[in-house]
Structure 1
Amino acid sequence: MTDGDQRVQVFVASRNAKKIAEMQRLLEQHVPDIQVLGLDDVAPYDEPAETEPTFEGNALIKVRAGVAATGLPSIADDSGLCVDALNGMPGVLSARWAGTAKDDAANNDLLLQQLEDVPDERRGAHFTCAVAFGYPVGAGGISEHVVHGEMRGRVIRELRGDGGFGYDVLFVADDTVAGGDCHTSAELDPDAKDAISHRGKALRAIAPVVADVLTGL
């Protein structure tokens, strides 16, 4: 569970460097000596298809595969943007809304096209995130925990900002408007985004569980 520097290791089933950095930043507030490893830091394994109709289901698919492949306590999340005017879509299809490839630019372009005629007052949306944490127990067993986080806001009409990833460049959270600005998630500094984001809320909820488990291993 630890490397040569005695850091506690946890595996995150992702290759998204920004997402891994975000999880490292949030989790180390509770486990200062934690080292978050991504898919590129472990031996390759067959990644399961995200076939479940819910964020929780897909997060659990990924975390079970991670524990089985690495033997490490593992975290996986599934998150997406749910747009009111699109009946909650893209939802679990957010990462591949414009096709099978995880192409942020194509996804954002398609979403803007679909909402082109939707008036500003009907462009409400929310980001949602399910974070699953699993770790080996007994002979081949696994203990699992799942938490959720949500960030409400709206989809704007142009791309703004160069931080974050995915639909961050199109999304203005209600919390930023209430605070007196209209920054997109991609325009927020990391600490400000972590404080209000769906993933930040979910990770803050799961972090004490992770800390309790890791300190006891």
Structure 2
Amino acid sequence: MLELGSHVFRVGVAAVVLTGVCLGARADDLYLESVKPAATNKPVLRYGFLRADVDRIAKTVPGVLRVIPFRSMPVIFRHQGSQLAGRLVGTNAGELQYDGHALTHGRYLTENDLKQRHSVAVIGHDVAARLFAKVDPIGKTLRAGDQLFLVVGVARWGTQRGANVVHVPISTMRVRFGDTVVVRQAGTFSMEQYELNAVRVVPQPGVDLSDQREAIFKMLRISRE
């Protein structure tokens, strides 16, 4: 666990969240997750990674092969009168290779989707079963909150944080939803602002993950000073 002022970051290895623990050779990557702080009296709760952190890690931390950003938010998914509470996850085209994900139908996100900010979505099997029943979801529209997405793929997510998950291009998510989330609960609402919830750092072959983790923490400390 790393605390930088009001920001708290938790490190997991191979996408298994283990506070401050590195499994070394048994793991393939580092998964860094921002921990949501306790509510405050401030009108907007700010936390999380910055998009600039992704560039800093890629450019300044030795032995990094790839950095995959994540931004997730709770939403209500809808299709033709059916609805389902779940999480919308913005990420990039490289994520399918990790966490044990398996594409079962259609395609995953592409670099062109990110570049063109396409409104496409890859839905989990649970979302497909509950919202599309026996209908092929490929080519159908899915409403996430008040935004429409075209379903292009169905996947069985591996190590996934929560049920009913849908992946979309992170560039599209930024344009459609911005960085501020309004959380409504029990007749009240609060506002949260974050650019990224988590970052996956994939090392080059042979790189010691313990050393890389410490290098990332050092970079985060310096950038937050």
Do they superpose with TM above 0.5?
no
Higher share in strand: 2
Q: Which has the higher contact order (CA 8 A, sep 6+)?
A: 2
Higher share in helix: 1
> What is the TM-score when the length of structure 1 is the normalising length?
0.26
> What is the TM-score when the length of structure 2 is the normalising length?
0.26
